[in-house]
Amino acid sequence: MSDDTPTTLRTRARHALHLDNPHGLSAEELSARRRARMDMVIGLCWGLIVLKTFAVVWIVNHYNMPFNPMWVVAPTVSMAFVATSLYYWIRD
């Protein structure tokens, strides 16, 4: 790669989420697009948390681990809830 092409993680993420500033859209339309994409990302993350929860519960029960799976699940869900709540509270 050449030095004049920025390939940082941030620019790749912005390009993947189509957050580039397309011409001809008002600031309100751009804001609505960003919110819709962020809502999609938050929904995807909650889906991954649900999958992780099922995996943790299954693994702990299957391998007879000597602790309750809620020690792993509860902090994950509570922190995700706090982060999601703060995002929606600050956004609106």
Q: Could you tell me the two tokens for 71?
A: 């020690």
Half-sphere exposure of 46 (CA within 13 A, CB side): 12
Q: Within a 10 A sphere around the Cβ of 32, how many other Cβ atoms?
A: 12
Amino acid at 92: D
pLDDT at residue number 27: 76
Structure tokens at 49: 């948390």
Tens digits of per-residue pLDDT, 64-89? Answer: 999 999 999 999 999 999 999 999 89
pLDDT: which is higher, 58 or 25: 58
Q: Enumerate residues 6+ apart whose C-beta is below 8 A from 33.
A: 18, 19, 25
The mean predicted confidence, pLDDT, of the chain is 84
Say which residue the tokens 């999609």 belong to.
Answer: 40
Predicted confidence at residue 30, as pLDDT, reads 74
